[in-house]
Structure 1
């Protein structure tokens, strides 16, 4: 069969164009992959070995993890990986990175003491909360499945738990058997977020939302169960001795700053507000047995947990505080 020269020429041009486009796409993919690896890598010498009392934050200008150091230029030493959410404890760090594109997807990076990547998990959603148990052996994170704010009336989250001792990953804990008001609770709207682990790497606390109400739940990993303890509790954070829970409490139905930061005593059942009166939309961090740190207004602040004192600014242009002990 005779193919006209003009047709052969058009075919050759089309094939060449496809090859060039394919090569460009391949090069772009390689560059993007290289960028993701670089984003998950800390500078040489930067790690979690700064000693007791060290505070790490996410530097909002660069997106990288930094160590707060008042003597350093800008009040911090940068050099960690790029993260949207960060937490660290027990020689293990957790870094959540949002990936570009639609639908929203993210990487969960497990890092060692030198902040080197040891495991990477790709999951759908937008990074929201991250926690590492005190031993560094059990990790949890929360992703927004839809929406981007807890202030919205309709949103959905997926909360995962990873046990580094066994490598077992629960991608979504919403199927954990839940006891509510003394009875097993089944509902399609059950939603968990904001896990905080006890020192035994078994007991944990989290928020559960169902029926339009939020509650504090106590969970048991070994028995795979959870029971609701108290209403109007969000983003719990367990104190180092396991007796107190810092949390955000909804005090207004309006969209602007509806929460205040409270502390709940698990033994007595009493709660009190801390001296921070602004609306805190964060999972507070216990930097020691008496002090809380949290993000607000583009900065990291601290306040005494007993309700005395006043808020103190720790770092400007920062979020996601972590105090590896």
Structure 2
């Protein structure tokens, strides 16, 4: 079996498993865990998706956890707002995106045509991004691809696919991305316009910098998947694909191009989250038990990983009182 064949097979298996896992998580009966009506997006703590209930939950600094009434397949919070990718009850087998207010009311809902995999907000909660798995693109050998979109909640401007953006060089010259280009893992800068993402084409996984207003992207580096921008805007944490088709977390310095492997030795198939300027949070699957837990690791490559929350994923930077 050739390396390319193994890679395509791995991609296919990964996507099928992810699709099955999301569908199973959204359709299985949730355990009877009490919802705390006093908890919302203003409650101090780290917001996660509780994998046992499927609900958005707040993990307090003492490790205790409080459940909300909101159910999501993927979630991310910032500035007292959340983006929630969920099953669409009005159309079985489909999914929707909710922009959720601090009090857990829904500001806006829009359909997403695919299976949820990534969700992000800008630091002030204005810009929303999501990635879904889709099937049926004729140019893909596996039959699966990804689609990423961006919503500006202030202006209402909606871009349903980054594949419609122009790929430009340093001088602004260029054109359409390659036909087989797939985008995923969007992360916003503080200006609510600049963003970073992965553009996969051929055997390459490029880190791209995007301009939401101009609807352009430009290539910065290769070998960078699921980037997440640091609060100070100088680095991205990402997952690096290894020859055995697993991933390790690294940090890429946008100024120098230096790459720092992090102390997490295990396979991490997640878009890391900067819990602060020095600490990365992420969901990690335990292959033996099938459980996903939230862990953290220093961003400078030192020390060792620490478990933050069991039976949880999709961590967001913690809110404080």
Q: Which interval holds the TM-score relative to the shorter structure?
A: 0.7 to 0.9
Are the structure 2 counterparts of residues 306 and 156 from structure 1 closer, same or farther at C-alpha, using a change threshold of 3 Å?
Answer: same
Query: Which residue number corresponds to residue 174 of structure 2?
Result: 184
Are the structure 2 counterparts of residues 264 and 129 from structure 1 closer, same or farther at C-alpha, using a change threshold of 3 Å?
Answer: same
Q: CA deviation at 1:141?
A: 0.4
- Tell me, what secondary structure is at the counterpart of 2:255? coil
Aligned residues: 273
Query: Which residue number corresponds to residue 266 of structure 1?
Result: 254
Are the structure 2 counterparts of residues 92 and 273 from structure 1 closer, same or farther at C-alpha, using a change threshold of 3 Å?
Answer: same
Task: Give distance in 2, aligned partners of 1:310 and 1:322.
Answer: 20
**Is the CA contact (8 Å cut-off) linking 1:181 and 1:228 kept in structure 2?**
no
**Is the CA contact (8 Å cut-off) linking 1:47 and 1:80 kept in structure 2?**
no
Cα deviation digits, residues 144-186 of structure 1 (max 9, x gap): 1139xxxx96631111100011112111111100136986254
Task: Give distance in 2, aligned partners of 1:61 and 1:229.
Answer: 39
Query: Which residue number corresponds to residue 81 of structure 1?
Result: 70
Query: Which residue number corresponds to residue 38 of structure 1?
Result: none
Root mean square deviation, CA, Å:
2.2
**Is the CA contact (8 Å cut-off) linking 1:260 and 1:279 kept in structure 2?**
yes
Q: CA deviation at 1:98?
A: 2.8
Query: Which residue number corresponds to residue 37 of structure 2?
Result: 44
Runs of 4+ off more than 3 Å:
99-104, 180-183
Task: Give distance in 2, aligned partners of 1:101 and 1:121.
Answer: 12
Query: Which residue number corresponds to residue 227 of structure 1?
Result: 218
2:119 is aligned, of 112, 130, 141, to: 130
Structure 2's unaligned 5+ residue stretches are: 1-34, 286-291
Query: Which residue number corresponds to residue 283 of structure 1?
Result: 271
1:322 aligns with 2:316: yes
- Tell me, what secondary structure is at the counterpart of 2:132? strand
1:106 is aligned, of 87, 95, 98, to: 95
Task: Give distance in 2, aligned partners of 1:324 and 1:173.
Answer: 29
Cα deviation digits, residues 63-92 of structure 1 (max 9, x gap): 0011113657xx311124000000011221
TM-score using structure 1 length: 0.79
Task: Give distance in 1, aligned partners of 2:188 and 2:279.
Answer: 18
Q: CA deviation at 1:308?
A: 0.3
2:205 is aligned, of 214, 222, 227, to: 214
Structure 1's unaligned 5+ residue stretches are: 1-41
**Is the CA contact (8 Å cut-off) linking 2:36 and 2:66 kept in structure 1?**
no
- Tell me, what secondary structure is at the counterpart of 1:174? helix
Larger Rg: 1
Query: Which residue number corresponds to residue 164 of structure 2?
Result: 175
